[in-house]
Amino acid sequence: MKRIGALILTFALALCTSAGLSAHHSCQKGEWKKKMQSEKIAFLTSEMDLTPEEAQEFWPVYNKVENEMDQAMHEVFSAFKALNQALEEGWSEKETEKLLDKYLEAQKKQKKVDAGRAERYLEVLPAEKVARLLIGEEKFRRQHIRRLHEKKQQNQANR
């Protein structure tokens, strides 16, 4: 569960890279993200068998948590990039230590947000549906990775 957000982002970036100019153009406009989110919502709603009432309570909580995960992941990536740059450019020990601390703090924050996800979902859904959500997210991720892999193989065969 901890890495689902990162894997979805990785998949999305890989999809944009491999699908050619058209997908790249769509990625620039954020259309790929909207499409993926719509597919994910439909998939998870079905997997969880949400009632309309449950969906009305659940999706705002889910979206808030996902936004927090995205923000935390962005902080980790930014801190990683800065730390890597410091190492490559030979920054001082003191500067590198500050960046390392920032990176480790960003990781802690991301893990804290991730660790609290299920508890927040349990406030609006029964345990069985939260379990279905967690399993459904993994199924959705695997399904999209499989599609990407198949598309890559198809593109290689067409060359």
Closest C-alpha among 67, 66, 102 to residue 81: 102
Domain ranges of the chain: 4-157
Instruction: Say if residues 67 and 37 touch (Cβ distance below 8 Å).
Output: no
pLDDT of the residue at 39: 93
- The model's pLDDT over 57-106, given as tens digits with 9 standing for 90+, comes to 999 999 999 999 999 999 999 999 999 999 999 999 999 999 999 999 99
What CA dihedral angle connects 34, 31, 1 and 127, to 10 degrees? 10
- The model's pLDDT over 98-157, given as tens digits with 9 standing for 90+, comes to 999 999 999 999 999 999 999 999 999 999 999 999 999 999 999 999 988 888 888 888
Range 81-91 burial, b when 16+ CB lie within 10 A, else e: ebbeebeeeeb
- The model's pLDDT over 6-52, given as tens digits with 9 standing for 90+, comes to 333 333 433 443 444 444 554 555 888 888 889 999 999 999 999 99
